[in-house]
């Protein structure tokens, strides 16, 4: 086979071409068809296949994540039950509106029971939060170091939540350190809101947004 064999090809008489030339032409035609097929048919399908593989991996990851969540769902349910029990126990430590007077009396009695003298016991304005109200109580008491300490301990052991804040303790007589003390503090207690108060709060918030 020579180069002249390709220069003098007569395609009208292709059947009479030498066999080597036919093989070369067939090989060229085959490569041309493969290239055109790849460009117009296979290449888009390959891209779609790659995208499908990527989507498959993404779906597998989602499946694994969902499966892990499903496996842990019982643990989550139990955790929610435990949280609700804890929340319920804490909520029971908050009195309702009707019990606030009794709680204020308990705080007062905690001081009187220790022999302390109240110079000030003044409930303040309530602050409304999400589901509870906070009431500050300004107190000023006089008594011995041991009695003041016992009063603070009694407050912490009340069945309802009461905290002492902004505490200031100074000797009643500045000339002696062993005499009675004066304690000034803000006792904060909390109560939960009843259904009507929560509804009124939500209505007020809705009006504020409008």
Q: What is the mean pLDDT of residues 139-148?
A: 91
Together in a domain, 103 and 74: no
- Residue 160 confidence (pLDDT) above 70: yes
Q: Do 185 and 166 touch, CB atoms closer than 8 A?
A: yes
pLDDT in tens, 117-131: 999 999 888 888 777
- Higher pLDDT: 26 or 164? It is 164
Average pLDDT, the chain: 77
CB atoms within 10 A of CB 114: 19
- The predicted structure's pLDDT at residue 141: 92
Domain of 156, CATH number, reads 3.30.70.60
Residue 138 has a pLDDT of: 93
Does 142 lie in the same domain as 126? yes
End position of a domain, from candidates 92, 123, 152: 92
Q: Are residues 194 and 139 in the same domain?
A: yes
**How is residue 138 written in tokens?**
């300004």
Instruction: Read off the pLDDT of residues 168-191 as tens digits, 9 standing for 90 and up.
Output: 988 887 766 677 889 999 999 888
CA angle 170, 173, 175 (to 5 degrees): 110
Q: Note the pLDDT of residue 58.
A: 85
Buried b (16+ CB within 10 A) or exposed e, 57-79: eeeeeeeeeeeeeeeeeeeeeee
Q: What pLDDT is recorded for position 36?
A: 66
Q: For residues 81 and 47, what is the distance between their CA atoms, to the nearest angstrom?
A: 50
Same domain, 82 and 106: no
Same domain, 194 and 127: yes
Residues 175 and 136 in one domain: yes
């Amino acid at each position: 086979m020579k180069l002249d064999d390709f220069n003098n090809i007569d395609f009208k008489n292709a059947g009479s071409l030498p066999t080597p030339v036919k093989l070369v032409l067939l090989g060229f035609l085959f490569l041309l068809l493969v290239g055109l097929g790849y460009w117009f048919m296979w290449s888009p399908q390959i891209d779609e296949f790659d995208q499908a593989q990527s989507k498959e991996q993404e779906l597998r990851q989602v499946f694994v994540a969902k499966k892990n969540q499903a496996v842990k769902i019982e643990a989550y349910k139990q955790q929610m039950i435990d949280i609700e029990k804890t929340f319920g126990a804490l909520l029971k430590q908050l009195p309702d509106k009707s019990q606030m007077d009794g709680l204020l009396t308990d705080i007062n009695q905690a001081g009187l029971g220790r022999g302390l003298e109240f110079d000030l016991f003044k409930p303040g304005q309530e602050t409304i939060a999400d589901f509870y109200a906070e009431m500050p109580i300004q107190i000023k008491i006089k008594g011995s170091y041991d009695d003041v300490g016992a009063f603070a301990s009694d407050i912490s052991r009340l069945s309802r939540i009461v905290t002492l804040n902004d505490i200031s303790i100074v000797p009643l007589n500045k000339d002696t350190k062993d005499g009675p003390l004066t304690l000034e503090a803000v006792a904060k207690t909390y109560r939960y809101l009843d259904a009507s108060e929560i509804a009124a709060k939500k209505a007020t918030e809705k009006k504020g947004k409008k």
